């Protein structure tokens, strides 16, 4: 795709938003390419996905203000809905998705990272929701996912004030899982992705589904749903392989995703 590149390394898929001269800003074309790439990822051979931005300055600097500035109400709503649909696809993607945040993650960039399961940041990463300073609200899920991730009070502070935060503060408030020097970022993300990929793929997918859907339910419904995911793992080749090996005190065979 024109603005989004895809690379497969073993069981790990790497998605790179490649609009470096524009700090990887999101416009309609980028969103279209990102959706197409996510739809094309081979799920049978992919156990984890990393999303990052081209270069060492910006993950995604935001949505493209040049495209947005002359939109009317209906066009703005359609653009927001398009971004939300793509990010929801990433959030619901069957396998875990890691955001490798290599610089600015502002507006739509912060929202893209929030749609991923795990966020790993470079030391130069900067997060923020600057939309209110531009006369708009966050439009790609920022008002919803940020509060769910860092708490309502801190999310409202960031959104209302348009204050940006750096990687160390993002780590402190739980917005990111870890921070590394920029030169180590992708290696560390690959280490985590490969560690995830070594576990039983069906089980990992069911874990993601259980967490994501459970957070949308009351606790009684959530704990009633969890045994469905638990039980559906039984009878798979990977479950039988791993449990037999454990009981026989031997190393299990590699997981086969069956």
Give the whole-angstrom CA distance, residue 116 versus residue 99: 6
Q: CB-based burial of residue 251 (10 Å sphere; 0-12 exposed, 13-18 middle, 19+ buried)?
A: exposed
111 is catalytic: yes
Mean pLDDT of the chain: 97
- Residue 17, pLDDT score: 98
pLDDT digits (tens, 9 = 90+) for 196-250: 999 999 999 999 999 999 999 999 999 999 999 999 999 999 999 999 999 999 9
Do residues 109 and 60 lie in contact, with contact meaning Cβ atoms separated by under 8 Å?
yes
3-state helix, strand, coil in the chain (%, to 5): 50, 15, 35
Give the whole-angstrom CA distance, residue 103 versus residue 125: 4
**pLDDT confidence band for 30 (50 / 70 / 90):** very high
Q: Averaged over 3-21, what is the pLDDT?
A: 97
Q: What residues does CATH 1.10.12.10 cover in the chain? A: 201-247
Give the whole-angstrom CA distance, residue 71 versus residue 213: 34
Residue 1 pLDDT exceeds 90: no
pLDDT digits (tens, 9 = 90+) for 245-257: 999 999 999 999 9
**pLDDT confidence band for 13 (50 / 70 / 90):** very high
List the one residue out of 39, 188, 63, 256 whose CA is nearest residue 71: 63
Q: What residues does CATH 3.90.226.10 cover in the chain? A: 4-197
Give the whole-angstrom CA distance, residue 209 versus residue 191: 23
- Residue 145, pLDDT score: 97
- 4-197 belongs to CATH 3.90.226.10: yes
The active-site residue, picked from 75, 111, 123, 169, is 111
Do residues 96 and 113 lie in contact, with contact meaning Cβ atoms separated by under 8 Å?
no
- Residue 202, pLDDT score: 96
Do residues 6 and 40 lie in contact, with contact meaning Cβ atoms separated by under 8 Å?
yes
Residue 185 pLDDT exceeds 80: yes
**pLDDT confidence band for 56 (50 / 70 / 90):** very high
pLDDT digits (tens, 9 = 90+) for 62-95: 999 999 999 999 999 999 999 999 999 999 999 9
Q: Tell me, rounded to whole angstroms, the distance of Cα 184 from its chain centroid.
A: 19
Do residues 178 and 120 lie in contact, with contact meaning Cβ atoms separated by under 8 Å?
yes
Classify domain 201-247 by CATH number.
1.10.12.10
Place of tokens 């739509």: 108
Report the half-sphere exposure of 50 (CA within 13 A, side-chain side).
30
Do residues 31 and 65 lie in contact, with contact meaning Cβ atoms separated by under 8 Å?
no
The active-site residue, picked from 131, 169, 237, 248, is 131
Give the whole-angstrom CA distance, residue 35 versus residue 233: 29
Q: Tell me, rounded to whole angstroms, the distance of Cα 14 from its chain centroid.
A: 12
* Single pTM value for the model: 0.96
Q: Averaged over 126-154, what is the pLDDT?
A: 97
Q: Sheet with 126-128: list strands edge to edge.
A: 58-60, 104-106, 126-128, 165-166
Report the half-sphere exposure of 239 (CA within 13 A, side-chain side).
11
The strand pairing partners of 4, in sequence order, are 17
Q: Averaged over 59-64, what is the pLDDT?
A: 94
Do residues 146 and 128 lie in contact, with contact meaning Cβ atoms separated by under 8 Å?
no
Relative to beta strand 12-17, strand 4-9 is antiparallel
């Amino acid at each position: 795709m024109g603005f989004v590149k895809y690379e497969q390394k073993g069981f790990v898929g790497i998605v790179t938003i490649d609009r470096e001269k524009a700090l990887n800003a999101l416009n309609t074309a980028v969103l279209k390419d990102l959706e197409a790439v996510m739809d094309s990822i081979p799920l049978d051979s992919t156990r984890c996905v990393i999303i990052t931005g081209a270069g060492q300055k910006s993950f995604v600097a935001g949505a493209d203000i040049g495209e947005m500035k002359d939109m009317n109400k209906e066009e703005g709503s359609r653009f927001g809905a398009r971004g939300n649909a793509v990010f929801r696809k990433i959030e619901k993607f069957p396998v875990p998705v890691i955001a490798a945040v290599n610089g600015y993650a502002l507006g739509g960039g912060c929202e893209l990272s929030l749609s991923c399961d795990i966020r790993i940041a470079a030391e130069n990463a900067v997060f923020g929701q600057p939309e209110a300073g531009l006369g708009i609200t966050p439009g790609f899920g920022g008002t919803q996912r940020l509060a769910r991730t860092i708490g309502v009070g801190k999310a409202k502070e960031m959104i209302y004030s348009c204050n940006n935060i750096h990687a160390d503060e993002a780590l402190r408030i739980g917005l990111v899982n870890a921070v590394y020097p920029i030169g180590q970022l992708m290696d560390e993300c690959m280490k985590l992705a490969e560690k995830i990929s070594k576990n039983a793929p069906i089980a990992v997918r069911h874990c993601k589904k259980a967490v994501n859907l459970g957070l949308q339910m009351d606790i009684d419904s959530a704990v009633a749903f969890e045994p469905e995911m638990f039980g559906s793992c039984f009878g798979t080749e990977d479950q039988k392989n791993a449990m037999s090996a454990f009981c026989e005190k031997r190393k299990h065979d590699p997981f086969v995703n069956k």
